[in-house]
Amino acid sequence: MCIYTRIQSLILSNKIKQRKSNTSTSTMALSRALFLFAFIATIFSTMAVAKDFVVGDEKGWTTLFDYQTWTANKVFRLGDTLTFNYVGGKDNVVRVNGSDFKSCSVPLTAPVLTSGQDKIIITTYGRRWYISSVTDHCENGQKLFITVQPKQDGWSPVPSPSPSPSLDLVTPEAPPSNAPWPASSVPRRSLLPKKLFQIFNRD
């Protein structure tokens, strides 16, 4: 009867272990699925939010146009694209700093875009200035100033679970080299060898 009870206990124990294993496997699969979903959703969210701004709309990149008014009702964010349309070879786009923007000056090291359909992806937020380096074009209004805002998160990914407090390892602080060790931390010498010696050398 005792053997039969023990066998039943072993069978029940194995079933419990199997259930725990299945639960752990299901939890891991669910975590991976949530992570994959968060990753894909982040990509699609970024693609959906990013905008392509055609500078000057149908007027394009030209002189005698008020680009300050054009930017007044627009919000530029990270990931957006600026498209400059103009006649290639007869005009250009140069990114400059604030002082060069005011004076319509072009630094010698500034890269000049001349394709006629220049696309600039905004990768940093803050102030950005663009001008044309063709003679008198900047002075005649062919200059663009925008302020780029950080990307607006319309969706937040699933946060990763925080580690269990039981896994945290706390390292005790070592005492100063010149400080005496506490009595509780001084290793005690074992008395077992002495007792064994007394037993084997007993008369």
- Cβ–Cβ under 8 Å, residues 160 and 171: no
Instruction: Report helix, strand or coil for 191.
Output: coil
- Which residues of the chain register pLDDT less than 70? 1-4, 6-8, 14-15, 20-26, 37, 39-48, 153-203
pLDDT at 59: 97
CA dihedral (14, 20, 22, 24) in degrees, to 10, reads: -150
pLDDT at 49: 77
Report the alpha-carbon distance of residue 157 to residue 137 in Å, rounded: 46
pLDDT at 33: 75
- Cβ–Cβ under 8 Å, residues 112 and 147: no
- Cβ–Cβ under 8 Å, residues 152 and 77: yes
Length of the chain: 203
Question: What is the 8-class DSSP label of residue 88?
Answer: B
pLDDT at 147: 97
How confident is the model over 92-142, as pLDDT tens digits? Answer: 999 999 999 999 999 999 999 999 999 999 999 999 999 999 999 999 999
pLDDT at 18: 72
* 74 to 24, 50, 56, 155: CA distances (angstroms): 50, 13, 12, 22
Instruction: Report helix, strand or coil for 69.
Output: helix
